[in-house]
A and B are shown apart, each in its own frame.
Chain A
Amino acid sequence: MAVERLFKDEATEEKGERARMASFVGAMAIADLVKTTLGPKGMDKILQSTGRGHSVTVTNDGATILKSLHIDNPAAKVLIDISKVQDDEVGDGTTSVVVLAGELLREAEKLVGSKIHPMTVISGYRMAAECARSALLDRVMDNKDDADKFRLDLMRIAMTTLSSKILSQDKEHFAKLAVDAVMRLKGSTNLESIQIIKKAGGSLKDSFLDEGFILDKKIGLGQPKRIENANILVANTAMDTDKVKIYGARVRVDSMSKVAQIEGAEKEKMREKVQKIIGHGINCFVNRQLIYNFPEELFADAGILAIEHADFDGIERLALVTGGEIASTFDNPESVKLGHCKLIEEIMIGEDRLIHFSGVEMGQACTIVLRGASFHVLDEAERSLHDALCVLSQTVNDSRVLLGGGWPEMVMAKAVDELARKTPGKKSHAIEAFSRALLAIPTTIADNAGLDSAELIAQLRAEHHKEESNAGIDVITGSVGDMAELGISEAFKVKQAVLLSATEAAEMILRVDEIITCAPRRREDRM
């Protein structure tokens, strides 16, 4: 007797082959979607949001594209999630990870179609991934001890990362910017201390790295525009009306004169506060919150530069560069650490006036000013630069480097192929499939560049058959080239993360044999 209804209305259930099919199709669709953005000659996508304004983004960053998609297919969501994690963890390779996972599933589909159990496929994939990883480990280069070489490595990695983005025209310029910025961090991965300011106008080439610190704020009226040997107090305090914080306090008076008195007392209080601040012996005061006219006037009288409403990140960075501490009380001027810098001045970038702190004590933070023709260009440039910065900061910590241009995939594919030959049983089919999936990445790079991928990959394979080959795809000339000579490098950490998370995701999707979708929660139509 059939059960009429087991689930709630609208809840659906897909079983066995159908479920597997649904997840394969979904995952491959996502992979195909971002596939064309891979490699130096990959194309961009335009994304239009459905929200108000229909704002437009032009990008070829895999994570950004996938994040903006509304997807209903559960397996596709898994891929989007790994791309997001890749972005958070290493910052680059967001497209590769999705493409690799998609290819692994495509190969798996064929195997499952020829009646190999998914579990067998999984165990084959696992062996292959482990083997591929150790193959990469064998071939890594580590130049940590040699500062010059290491810097060169970083330059190369940055250029490789940037070459697939909008910045590829000026990649040397930007690679230098990124490497300089990251080297200043001295090993910390805190990218917040690198500030990126975007100003439309000029060309991308006009972008520059400023060793000091630029605050996107205006100087208060009637205050000095230029200060040498500045002592800076960085504060987070209310400079509007200093409220009494004790609960339930309120003012109740019975005559107008008393109101005036209290107002006077309030003003007096503010004046005292300002006096205390001035008592620190400063000539520049930066506050996170608003500064009202009255205290601003007092500061102007004392010849102190007062900057209001600097945002939170700005304050933190400023404190970091100038070496001051963020203060909220001002009773002990002797023990508050002040920040110092050689020169504060107002500078013009394009049409905007900004405040520039130069000659700062601690060299950790810096500012990159991006110039470009339009906001879309600037946004994309920021994303690209962010990718490069992420990769570099991770590489500073884990200095192992690989060659690029499809070289790592070829090395892995070769090792995996050898493993397949040695492994008895059905697993060897899965291992072979893994190596085919790995080859899909150089194939895609070549395809996107309009090259004859079949020919190139065959040549590459032949090259790699020799020991210690450095061959990879040279997209510019459209032939097989020596990657070490061409100076194309990639970070080991990125490749490893791509390999492991793609395998993990493929494994997860393969294990599924049933999809149960609950009824979607009712929502008011907000359209």
Chain B
Amino acid sequence: MALAFDEYGRPFIILREQESKSRLRGLDAQKSNIAAGVAVSRILRTSLGPKGMDKMLQSPDGDITITNDGATILEQMDVDNQIGKLMVELSRSQDYEIGDGTTGVVVMAGALLEQAERLLERGIHPIRVAEGFEISSRIAVDHLEQIAHKFDFSATNIEPLVQTCMTTLSSKIVNRCKRSLAEIAVKGVMAVADLERKDVNLDLIKVEGKVGGKLEDTELIYGIIVDKDMSHPQMPKQIEDAKIAILTCPFEPPKPKTKHKVDIDTVEKFQTLREQEKKYFDDMVQRCKDVGATLVICQWGFDDEANHLLMHRNLPAVRWVGGVELELIAIATGGRIVPRFQELTPEKLGKAGLVREKAFGTTKDRMLYIEHCANSKAVTVFIRGGNKMMIEETKRSIHDALCVARNLIRNNSIVYGGGAAEISCSIAVEAAADKYPGVEQYAIRAFADALDSVPMALAENSGLQPIETVSAVKAQQIKENNPCCGIDCNDAGTNDMREQNVFETLIGKQQQILLATQVVKMILKIDDVISPSEY
């Protein structure tokens, strides 16, 4: 009880308003936490693998999201439970760090929690369980390192990368054209990759979507697409060899930041002011023209007069272009963003081979394509699809594929997918368990069992007999000493993942195991939950 007595026997309050708070302690707390974690992971369990199902989420505003991306599902559902939120965080950190495997990590954590509960019931102290898990996660990660393969790719041979991206995409709704999307993702990443430094800046890849058309029309554009049109309807719609002035100053009279007033008290002043205003507009446009720009892209709006002057001087212009897009255009065209007209020089202009406006469908949707840029280090993936939800889901899938390709460029080690890596780790952990004296041994065995749950979920979702299939694969792995055996989800007739070309990145898998173990350890250590009750 959160009540203590002082030396005179008077009670004093340790926990304020404790009757209005609900409190769980000891084993009850751990069990309720575990139950919450398992409940979250159970939601995601059916989304795992190429035959996994999608979830439909309705947001508070009534918008619909259909997805099977773990991170998105968890982020969009209204989780109120504290432990549930921890699981959401877990999936999100996997998303930030790796970008793929967000479902797997939650399923893994759920399995570990289930195993832990059984151990707690036997009376093993939670800390011992946590330590056992920690030891086994290290064994598993080391084992992954051993069974990993380096695989070679180069700028000309991107086939292995495409294969890996296809594994990622095959569990999404877009798997109808996974081949072409995987190629788009890999080519996009290769275009912006810095192979020397082994790094990829994903910010340089813009993913833009537009409803209409079909998924097959999705394309990779070596340039930028801006969802804007020319400021004046009569400006030319196509510019070749464009020299682009990228401005962050408006084509409007200046607004000094200090407060000021211009008093007009005579007719002369009124007239000079008028003259100045006219000259100001003229100067702005003339300056752009003088440096040789053939296209003006501006972050702000134009005055009507400026707009006409631009049109008049045959200088097409685009207004209200967002800051991020402006930066991308600057990177792609090799131009500099110019904050003041005075600083405009010919060197600061960006260059693009072709700028064109393209109309879509029957409405007046137009987009501006900036292509054949001086610096091809910025690309756009342009997604088409039958409806809004499809586009959104495709965006997420492409993002996952891009992340996978990037991870491979950073570290070209792979492990085999389809549950093969998990089964192999499970065998290794199981074998290592006997070497540890003490209670941890049980925890380590439990960890091995938990590792089995990922292939088991895969088999279950694919409509196979889970226990039978997993044990058969396990036996095969031990017998043939071949860590490439996995679950044959697609009914391809073989369970050698090397033949099926199902790969996953080594760092992705390692991260999954480490993150899941960490979260489970954290949950196990909690023995008191104090929460304010309903009000």
Q: Which residues of A are found within 8 Å of B312, using beta-carbon distances?
A: 325, 327, 329, 332, 335-336
Beta-carbon contact of A518 and B76 below 8 Å: yes
Q: Which residues of A are found within 8 Å of B387, using beta-carbon distances?
A: 78, 81-82, 85, 501, 504-505, 508
Beta-carbon contact of A262 and B270 below 8 Å: yes
Q: How far is the CB of B58 from chain A (nearest CB, A)?
A: 4
Q: Which residues of A are found within 8 Å of B232, using beta-carbon distances?
A: 326
Within 8 A of A (CB), among B65-100: 66, 68, 73, 76-81, 84
C-alpha gap A394/B57 in the complex (Å): 35
C-alpha gap A13/B81 in the complex (Å): 15
A90 interface hit (Cβ, 8 Å): yes
B479 interface hit (Cβ, 8 Å): no
B40 interface hit (Cβ, 8 Å): yes
Within 8 A of B (CB), among A1-43: 1-9, 11, 13, 19, 23
Interface mask (B253-293 → A, CB under 8 Å = 1, otherwise 0): 11110011111111100110110111011000000000000
Q: How far is the CB of A49 from chain B (nearest CB, A)?
A: 18
Closest to B359 in A: A189
The segment from A157-165, A251-259, A400-408, A437-445 found at the interface with B is A251-259
Q: Which residues of A are found within 8 Å of B84, using beta-carbon distances?
A: 6
Main secondary structure of the interface of A (DSSP, over half): mixed
Q: Determine which of B66, B176, B256, B264 lies in contact with A262 in the assembled complex, contact meaning CB atoms within 8 Å.
A: B264
Beta-carbon contact of A82 and B386 below 8 Å: yes
Interface mask (A227-251 → B, CB under 8 Å = 1, otherwise 0): 0000000001110000011111111
C-alpha gap A385/B303 in the complex (Å): 37
Beta-carbon contact of A518 and B60 below 8 Å: yes
Say yes or no: A265-B267 contact (C-beta < 8 A), given A1-B35, A11-B78, A78-B64. yes
Beta-carbon contact of B265 and A2 below 8 Å: no
Closest to B80 in A: A8
Beta-carbon contact of B55 and A515 below 8 Å: yes
Beta-carbon contact of A328 and B214 below 8 Å: no
Beta-carbon contact of A514 and B43 below 8 Å: yes
C-alpha gap A89/B360 in the complex (Å): 7
Beta-carbon contact of B277 and A236 below 8 Å: no
Q: Of residues B173, B388, B389, which shows the largest number of chain A Cβ atoms within 10 Å of its Cβ?
A: B389
Beta-carbon contact of A265 and B271 below 8 Å: yes
Beta-carbon contact of A264 and B363 below 8 Å: no
Q: Which residues of A are found within 8 Å of B532, using beta-carbon distances?
A: none
Q: Which residues of B are found within 8 Å of A88, using beta-carbon distances?
A: 211-212, 361-363, 365
Beta-carbon contact of B262 and A250 below 8 Å: yes
B61 interface hit (Cβ, 8 Å): yes
Interface mask (A308-345 → B, CB under 8 Å = 1, otherwise 0): 00000000100100000111110110011000000000
C-alpha gap A39/B406 in the complex (Å): 52
Size category of the B interface is: 35 or more
Closest to A242 in B: B274
Beta-carbon contact of A89 and B361 below 8 Å: yes
Q: Which residues of A are found within 8 Å of B53, using beta-carbon distances?
A: 118-119, 511-514
Q: Which residues of A are found within 8 Å of B46, using beta-carbon distances?
A: 513-514
Q: Determine which of A4, A250, A325, A394 lies in contact with B261 in the assembled complex, contact meaning CB atoms within 8 Å.
A: A250
Q: Which residues of B are found within 8 Å of A212, using beta-carbon distances?
A: none
Q: Which residues of B are found within 8 Å of A507, using beta-carbon distances?
A: 173
Interface mask (A114-130 → B, CB under 8 Å = 1, otherwise 0): 00011100000010000
Q: How far is the CB of B85 from chain A (nearest CB, A)?
A: 10
Q: Determine which of B58, B212, B308 lies in contact with A327 in the assembled complex, contact meaning CB atoms within 8 Å.
A: B308
Size category of the A interface is: 35 or more
Q: How far is the CB of B63 from chain A (nearest CB, A)?
A: 8
Beta-carbon contact of B57 and A518 below 8 Å: yes
Q: Which residues of B are found within 8 Å of A1, using beta-carbon distances?
A: 31-32, 35
Q: Which residues of B are found within 8 Å of A191, using beta-carbon distances?
A: 362
C-alpha gap A251/B266 in the complex (Å): 9
A105 interface hit (Cβ, 8 Å): no
Q: How far is the CB of A259 from chain B (nearest CB, A)?
A: 10
A372 interface hit (Cβ, 8 Å): no
Closest to A252 in B: B263
Beta-carbon contact of A511 and B304 below 8 Å: no
Beta-carbon contact of A3 and B39 below 8 Å: yes
B339 interface hit (Cβ, 8 Å): no
C-alpha gap A497/B362 in the complex (Å): 14
Q: Which residues of A are found within 8 Å of B256, using beta-carbon distances?
A: 247-248
Q: Which residues of A are found within 8 Å of B66, using beta-carbon distances?
A: 78, 508, 511-512
Q: Which residues of A are found within 8 Å of B78, using beta-carbon distances?
A: 7-8, 11, 516, 518-519
C-alpha gap A253/B269 in the complex (Å): 12
A192 interface hit (Cβ, 8 Å): yes
Beta-carbon contact of A504 and B386 below 8 Å: yes
Q: Of residues A9, A87, A244, which shows the largest number of chain B Cβ atoms within 10 Å of its Cβ?
A: A244
A residues engaging B (CB < 8 A)?
1-9, 11, 13, 19, 23, 72, 74-75, 77-78, 81-82, 85, 87-91, 117-119, 126, 189-192, 236-238, 244-254, 258, 261-262, 264-266, 269, 316, 319, 325-329, 331-332, 335-336, 390, 393-394, 500-501, 504-505, 507-508, 511-521
Q: List 15 A-B contacts (CB under 8 A).
A: A3-B36, A3-B39, A8-B78, A77-B62, A89-B212, A189-B362, A190-B364, A244-B277, A245-B252, A261-B266, A390-B362, A508-B387, A512-B54, A518-B77, A521-B61
Q: Give me 12 other A-B pairs in contact (C-beta within 8 A), A247-B254, A516-B43 excluded.
A: A72-B62, A77-B62, A85-B387, A89-B361, A119-B463, A190-B364, A244-B264, A326-B233, A335-B312, A513-B54, A518-B58, A518-B60
